[in-house]
Chains A and B, each alone.
Chain A
């Protein structure tokens, strides 16, 4: 039973355009969400997070939107750059678990081409 789903395994975007990566979750106990970025042969690195008390968090070119009623979040990258090409993982955790567990989606491979 996948509690965090990233239904698009891959996404291709032209440089300068917006990249939108989507993530859905099923567990209503999740109240903290994170995006990680992973390059080949490297571990995931933290990108941006959002608490369930917010519906938007912005950090430079990266914005995460949270729709709690739809149990959906998305990561927007604008403008997209070739260096953004990587696999992006959505992850969720819950205060009830002391934020000890991160449940990951399967990842979306983003390719930004010139």
Chain B
């Protein structure tokens, strides 16, 4: 099946620094990518939807200036957590969709555990 590669798997950073997370679709072109965040024992929460070549659509309550999303190509989307703080520590996961179909065509990366000291 389709593969979505997410990198890095783990990142530890100091408060105030920025962290970039990459999400790549390896064997298909992802017209749409989604970024989720999961706090311990909670649901995967959709943060934003990015479409190739256009601005991301952020969910209510997600700061667009803090979580910068770039979807410059059909195979790569990046999430940059700017000026990270301890409360940003979470599990971030991306997913990619090949065509405008329902959920079974949604493929997930393996996630990034961010720890901000």
Stretch at the interface among A11-19, A63-71, A72-80, A91-99: A91-99
Instruction: Give 1 or 0 for each of B70-103: 1 = CB within 8 Å of chain A CB.
Output: 0000000000000000000000010100001111
* Structural contact, A49 and B41, CB atoms closer than 8 A: no
**Interface residue total, chain B, C-beta cutoff 8 A:** 26
A interface, CB within 8 angstroms of B = 2, 4, 9, 32, 34, 36, 41-46, 49, 89, 91, 93, 98-107
Q: 13 A-B pairs, CB-CB below 8 angstroms?
A: A41-B9, A42-B110, A43-B109, A44-B44, A89-B43, A91-B103, A93-B102, A100-B49, A102-B34, A102-B106, A104-B43, A104-B44, A106-B41
B interface, CB within 8 angstroms of A = 4, 6, 9, 32, 34, 36, 41-46, 49, 93, 95, 100-104, 106-111
